[in-house]
């Protein structure tokens, strides 16, 4: 995830179990691009602990091939993933990311061009359509034919961005139809939602973004639950420690001119972590902080003690939504 799936976060996740593998934020690929050094470093640094897939976004097979070669030369990534899902207007406006879902021939050409040069796994990250999920059957027919090793499906259309329930049935159909492993993504915010997604789709794996930033124990909790063990339940105090540790990691990585810049950087993470705590009071206060000291003192005031951290975030339609429908079996 752009700006949030970064090495400081990954280090904090790893100390709490972490996922089985990581996927980088995307390398932007175009005529004049070279792989971003900061993202490359995250692959190099994390690859000693866990496999890391390097994700690229772009639409020119020639330059995607060039970049894939460079990324593999300069890191020991586990493979290359291509983004077919980003809904940002500046990305789709350049016919990349989610906009590629409108050009099946180009998706095929990209996969066929990359296959011979990718030594590890070659995977795609898709949505269930650009305008509507009725496009998904044609997409499935396309994916089934491609020389890829796996597919992660964010179960929303590009138009739905992040503000809808996920189309769980589409993911389940993909799991049935495709000859390679499918990972389910979207609305997985807790053990219960993870188990519901696995049960409904039979997916080979889960891809988790925002829910794992909010609750860095989530990956270990899901492993435990799947094995029939009782998952660890973090307290508000545990979450406070995590946020402080993350702040230290972020501060150590970046060149922050003043304490205001560090606080602003931390707000990107805090939005996900603090949502719903004290009825929304904490996130509101953190968003208004002007410097790092104020940020820390407010988070220490709320994120302390042995009260359990809520298992699920508050659904607010923007940051987190769709979990309720998933749990109720309505999607």
Ligand X SMILES: Cc1cc2nc3c(=O)[nH]c(=O)nc-3n(C[C@H](O)[C@H](O)[C@H](O)COP(=O)(O)O)c2cc1C
Quick one: 211 or 240, whose CB is closer to ligand X?
211
Reply yes or no on whether 86 is catalytic: yes
Are 212 and 191 in contact by the 8 Å Cβ rule? The answer is no
Smallest distance, Å, CB 162 to ligand X? 6
Q: How many residues bind ligand X (CB under 6 A)?
A: 19
Give the number of other CB atoms < 10 A from CB of residue 141. 11
- Using the contact rule CB under 6 A, the part of the chain among 27-35, 194-202, 208-216, 245-253 near ligand X is 208-216
Q: Is 210 in the site for ligand X (CB under 6 A)?
A: yes
Q: Is 134 in the site for ligand X (CB under 6 A)?
A: no
CA nearest neighbour of 174 among 196, 197, 152: 152
Quick one: 125 or 167, whose CB is closer to ligand X?
125
**Given 86, 92, 170, 321, which residue is catalytic?**
86
| 3-state secondary structure labels for all residues of 254-285 | CCCCCHHHHHHHHHHHHHHHHCCHHHHHHHHH
Which residue in 83, 190, 247, 271 binds ligand X (CB under 6 A)? 83
288 Cβ contact list (under 8 Å, min separation 6): none
Token couple for 273 = 């972590």
Q: Is 88 in the site for ligand X (CB under 6 A)?
A: no
Q: Is 208 in the site for ligand X (CB under 6 A)?
A: yes
CA nearest neighbour of 238 among 327, 310, 177, 176: 310
Q: Is 215 in the site for ligand X (CB under 6 A)?
A: no
Tokens 């979207």 locate to 186
Give the number of other CB atoms < 10 A from CB of residue 330. 10
Smallest distance, Å, CB 166 to ligand X? 8
Which residue in 171, 188, 250, 283 binds ligand X (CB under 6 A)? 188
Q: Any idea which residues carry the catalytic annotation?
A: 86
Q: Rule CB under 6 A: which residues touch ligand X?
A: 1-2, 4, 25-26, 55, 83, 85, 125, 154, 162, 185-188, 208-211
């Amino acid at each position: 995830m752009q700006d949030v799936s970064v090495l400081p976060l990954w280090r904090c996740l790893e100390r709490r179990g972490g996922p089985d593998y990581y996927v980088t934020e995307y390398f932007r690929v175009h005529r004049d691009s070279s792989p971003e050094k900061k993202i490359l470093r995250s692959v190099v640094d994390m690859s000693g602990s866990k496999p890391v897939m390097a994700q690229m976004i772009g639409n020119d097979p020639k330059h995607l091939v060039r970049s894939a070669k460079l990324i593999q030369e300069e890191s020991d990534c586990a493979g290359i993933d291509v983004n077919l899902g980003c809904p940002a207007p500046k990305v789709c406006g350049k016919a990349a990311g989610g906009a590629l879902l409108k050009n099946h021939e180009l998706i095929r050409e990209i996969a066929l061009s990359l296959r011979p040069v990718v030594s590890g796994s070659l995977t795609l990250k898709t949505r269930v359509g650009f305008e509507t999920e009725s496009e998904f059957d044609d997409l499935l027919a396309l994916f089934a034919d491609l020389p890829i090793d796996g597919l992660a499906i964010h179960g929303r259309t590009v138009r739905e961005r992040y503000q809808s329930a996920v189309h769980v049935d589409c993911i389940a159909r993909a799991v049935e139809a495709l000859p390679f492993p499918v990972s389910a993504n979207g609305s997985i915010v807790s053990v219960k939602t993870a188990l519901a997604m696995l049960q409904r789709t039979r997916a080979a794996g889960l891809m988790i973004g925002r829910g794992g930033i909010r609750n860095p124990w989530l990956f270990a909790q899901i492993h435990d639950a799947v094995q029939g063990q009782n998952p660890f339940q973090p307290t508000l105090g545990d979450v406070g420690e995590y946020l402080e540790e993350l702040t230290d990691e972020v501060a150590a990585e970046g060149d922050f001119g003043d304490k205001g810049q560090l606080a602003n950087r931390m707000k990107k993470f805090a939005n996900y972590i603090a949502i719903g705590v004290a009825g929304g009071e904490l996130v509101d206060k953190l968003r208004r902080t002007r410097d790092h000291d104020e940020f820390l003192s407010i988070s220490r005031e709320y994120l302390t003690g042995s009260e359990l951290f809520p298992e699920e975030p508050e659904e607010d339609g923007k940051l987190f939504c769709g979990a309720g429908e998933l749990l109720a079996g309505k999607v």
